[in-house]
Structure 1
Amino acid sequence: MTGNEWFDEEAGPLVRSYALTRGRARPVTRESFDMMAVIETRGHPAYGQVGIGPEHLAILELCARPLPVAEISGQLQLPLVVVRVLLGDLLDQNLIGVLRPRREETAVNDGTVSEQLLREVLHGLEAL
């Protein structure tokens, strides 16, 4: 056996996602990180801080200017589930803040979704 029998090119992205999240499918924190939640950097990790990898640092750099979760996922070209786990790590270490759209901005009085929310969702999806 040469070892190449175990290599599957199609599994590459799955293995990478699994490794980035250390096998986690959900953030440890209670925050669900809605796609439209806006993330902003609130701190920077100490040099060599445990649990902070290059992807975490990329998120912190991106969010120096507040960005929605969907936009972060699109810009980093990472699956949304992976970004949510990484955001959970950063939130647990108080390195990011989460801003949620106000309820009145997302729905009109009769309970239907506002045009503004639909535009934001469209922009987030286009970023993916």
Structure 2
Amino acid sequence: MPEPRPEPWLDDDAGALVRPFTATGGRTRPAAELDLMTLVRATGADVRGPAVPEHDQMLALCRRPVSVAELAAHVRLPVTLTKVLLSDLLERGAVTTRAPELTPHQPTDKDLLEAVLHGLRKRL
């Protein structure tokens, strides 16, 4: 009699339950210095197949400059894990990074910041 196949660990809301560090091979620190506002863009370079599906997702999202924070939200991964995976892509030459452009001629909009603060307070 065949042994029963194990059921995948699933959660109705979250989907498959896999520890995030398995995608990084247990690594918890990125090799590159990346902050939440770092802009990432795919280079289009031909790289040997990404090691995990998240690499493919990230490359697809990076066709235009996107921040590390935005990228983490889109792929639904913790920021630290996203940074580790981005470091892999950076080492392969698949993406480039740069700091966001902030100029003194574009001051921060106080009304926008107050609206964001108001929205955050409302949600908390």
Q: What TM-score do the two structures reach when normalised by structure 1?
A: 0.65
Q: Deviation per CA, 1:58-79: give whole Å up to 9, x if none.
A: 1000000111100000011100
Where do 4+ consecutive residues of structure 1 move more than 4 Å? none
Q: Report the Cα distance in structure 2 between the residues aligned to 1:67 and 1:52, rounded to whole angstroms.
A: 21
CA RMSD after TM alignment = 3.4
Bigger mean CA deviation after superposition, 56-65 or 94-103: 94-103
The within-5 A match list for 1:23-62 is 23-28=26-31, 31-46=32-47, 49=48, 52-62=51-61
Pick the structure with more helix per residue. 1
Q: Report the Cα distance in structure 1 between the residues aligned to 2:109 and 2:39, rounded to whole angstroms.
A: 18
Q: Which amino acid aligns with 1:26?
A: R
Distance 1:75 1:50, change over 3 A: closer
Q: Report the Cα distance in structure 2 between the residues aligned to 1:44 and 1:52, rounded to whole angstroms.
A: 16
Aligned residues, how many? Answer: 105
Superposed displacement of residue 27, structure 1? 1.4
Q: Report the counterpart of residue 21 of structure 1 in structure 2.
A: 24
Superposed displacement of residue 44, structure 1? 4.1
Q: Gapped runs of 5+ residues in structure 1?
A: 109-113
The within-5 A match list for 1:1-128 is 12-13=17-18, 15=19, 17-28=20-31, 31-46=32-47, 49=48, 52-102=51-101, 104=103, 114-115=108-109
Q: Report the Cα distance in structure 2 between the residues aligned to 1:53 and 1:45, rounded to whole angstroms.
A: 16
Superposed displacement of residue 24, structure 1? 0.6
Superposed displacement of residue 96, structure 1? 0.3
Equivalent residue of 1:40, what SS? Answer: strand
Q: What TM-score do the two structures reach when normalised by structure 2?
A: 0.67
In our comparison, the structure showing a higher alpha carbon Rg is 2
